[in-house]
Structure 1
Amino acid sequence: MIFLLFLLIALLGIVLWYVIQMDEIGRSLPSHAESSIKEPKKKQGILEEVETLNLTTISDQKRKEENGKKEANSSEKNEEVTEQQQTTPIDKEISADYVLEHTVKEGETLYSITMLYFSDSSYQEQIKLYNNITNPAKEIQVGMQLNIPDPDYMIEHTIKQGESLIGISRKYYNTDAYTGALAKYNDLQNPDHLPFGTAIHIPSPSLLEKDVPVQGSRKSSEASVETSSFSIRINKKTNQLTVFQNGDEVRSFSVGTGKDVSMTPEGDFNVVNKIEEPWYSSKGIPGGHPDNPLGSRWIGLNVPGTDGTVYGIHGTNDPTSIGGHVSLGCIRMLNEDVEWLYNQIPIGTPVTIE
């Protein structure tokens, strides 16, 4: 009996131990299961993080590539802009009404060529652009042809109605000082008579001398002086002009002289130029115009410092002024009278004003 009771207690102990063990196993099972379930999730999370990193890396690479392309494009554009900036002046079109060809000679440079045709070094750029030149020192070679757009000088001028050599000098050189040099350069036999339609050459001022006496060729002037038998005497008090030939009085004319006695110079002078239909340059009135106070003719006197461009014998547009003290220093005549005088006396004729 005691043995059975002891065996039963032992069995109960074994069962109790088993239950405890099973309970412990049961408690540990959820932890293992959760661990086994969560592990794949952790792995999956790692994978997702890896994929995210990979995607981010790829995205960053694409972004860098795109940025690189943009920078490259921007650089190319900048290079294009730079190239355009460098080439724009050369590609720029310059229009010209007249183009003259120049053959480059030994020793010539862009500067010397520019000064020849413009007398202004700032026009070098215009010649460069028109000829697509970027490096004048290397590109301009002896014998090459350069196009000169709208040159100021080394051109021809066709005489228009009423133009004078003095007016042409003022037009191209802004001064009377080249009048005589123009006549000499063009070998004008009678610079005071420029027929309509005559073409004369307009050289660069660097090729001319200033204040050359305004007269015809040397031979014709000498001949005129030697054969001239005329002389003129002007009396300011009586306002009379008298023409003599070989000492004999030929004709006498009523004239107008200076408003003030000192305005018309006194002394012995010579006729140095003769101009038909002179321009009144101080007011820009062309020759032949009814408002021109110089009338139809100009006979210039070589009063010192004037070369026949300031004081002279001329016609008038106001016949009523003849006989009075009305001028700024010149001697006025009726147009028909000054035309007669113009046709009779040669350059070199002596004139005395008293």
Structure 2
Amino acid sequence: MFPESMTVLDVSETTPVSIKELPSDDSKSIGIVYGSLMHVDVIQNLKNGYSEISSWDYASMNAIKGFVPTKFLKTIELDEKYGIIVELRRQKVYIYENDSVIKTFLCSSGLDENNYYTPKGLYRIGSRGDSFFSPKYGQGAYHWVRFSNNYLFHSVPFDENQNIIEEEAAKLGQKASHGCIRLSMDDALWLYNNIPQGTPVLIKD
């Protein structure tokens, strides 16, 4: 169900790492991958201190294949008590404890248009906070939990006055967000309070 390990970039969870076109310091960047929460596939390790990896570019959302210094790669053993699977087709979040489902949440993942879709892949739970507000979208949310830089689990959104936007809350069960995974207030609070850092998150169709 969940792999035994994953390979991440050994930097902070919100630090960008440039993916190089060629295995050299002066090669041009072909994309950006963020931090220590996102799995990257290692294709080969070269003798010059670089490794070839495949991932997706944070800016374009396109699949990329390129090079990073091998020193940035770190293998993490996944022996956590909990695990999370997000099924985008069903718009559901499944919480596993010791390989058994203990919770099922209805969610809203990212819209398909404008590169708002939620990126599939293997991640880890990172930091969290009580609330945030995005002036860009005129929305905020409670109980956010990071799984890849600005991609978060969080509650249904509120407006600039911190009032829940009811028409958005009513969209749970269908794609509606700008890429994050929305949950009901109760479910977002449960995840915030109970799921520890390092928990694996598998997002799939």
Q: TM-score, structure 2 length as denominator?
A: 0.53
Matched residue SS, 2:190: helix
Counterpart of 1:296 (choices 142, 147, 150) is 142
User: Which has a greater percent of helix?
Assistant: 1
Partner amino acid, structure 2, of 1:349: T
Aligned residues: 124
In structure 2, the partner of 1:334 is 184
Change (3 A) 1:213 1:342: same
CA separation in 2, counterparts of 1:243 and 1:250?
A: 6
> Whole-Å Cα distance in 1 between the matches of residues 96 and 78 of structure 2?
16
Query: What displacement does 1:321 show?
Result: 1.7
Q: Distance in 1 between matches of 2:82 and 2:36?
A: 21
Matched, 1:280 2:134: yes
2:197 maps to 347
Larger Rg: 1
Residue of structure 1 in register with 2:98 after alignment = 246
Q: Find the aligned partners of 1:251 and 1:233 in 2 and give their Cα distance.
A: 11
Q: Which has the higher contact order (CA 8 A, sep 6+)?
A: 2
Deviation at 1:278, TM superposition (A): 2.1
Matched, 1:232 2:84: yes
> Alignment RMSD, CA only?
2.8
Q: Per-residue deviation at 1:241? A: 0.3
Deviation by residue 1:47-88 (Cα, 9 ceiling, x = unmatched): xxxxxxxxxxxxxxxxxxxxxxxxxxxxxxxxxxxxxxxxxx
Aligned pairs (5 A) from 1:1-354: 228-260=80-112, 263-282=117-136, 293-302=139-148, 308=149, 310-316=150-156, 317=164, 318-354=168-204
State how far apart, in whole Å, the 2-side matches of 1:238 and 1:179 are: 28
Whole-angstrom distance in 2 between the partners of 1:273 and 1:280:
18
Asked if the contact 2:13/2:126 (under 8 Å) is kept, the reply is no
The CA deviation at 1:179 is 9.1
d(CA) in 2 for partners of 1:347, 1:330: 18
The 8 Å contact of residues 294 and 314 in structure 1, kept in 2 or not, is answered as no
- CA shift, 1:280, in A, is 2.3
Gaps of 5+ in 1: 1-177, 182-210, 215-224, 286-292, 303-307
Q: Which has the higher strand share?
A: 2
Structure 1 residues 248 and 180, CA gap change in structure 2 (3 angstroms): same
Q: Distance in 1 between matches of 2:35 and 2:183?
A: 28
Residue segments in structure 2 that go unaligned for 5+ positions in a row? 1-11, 16-33, 38-76, 157-163
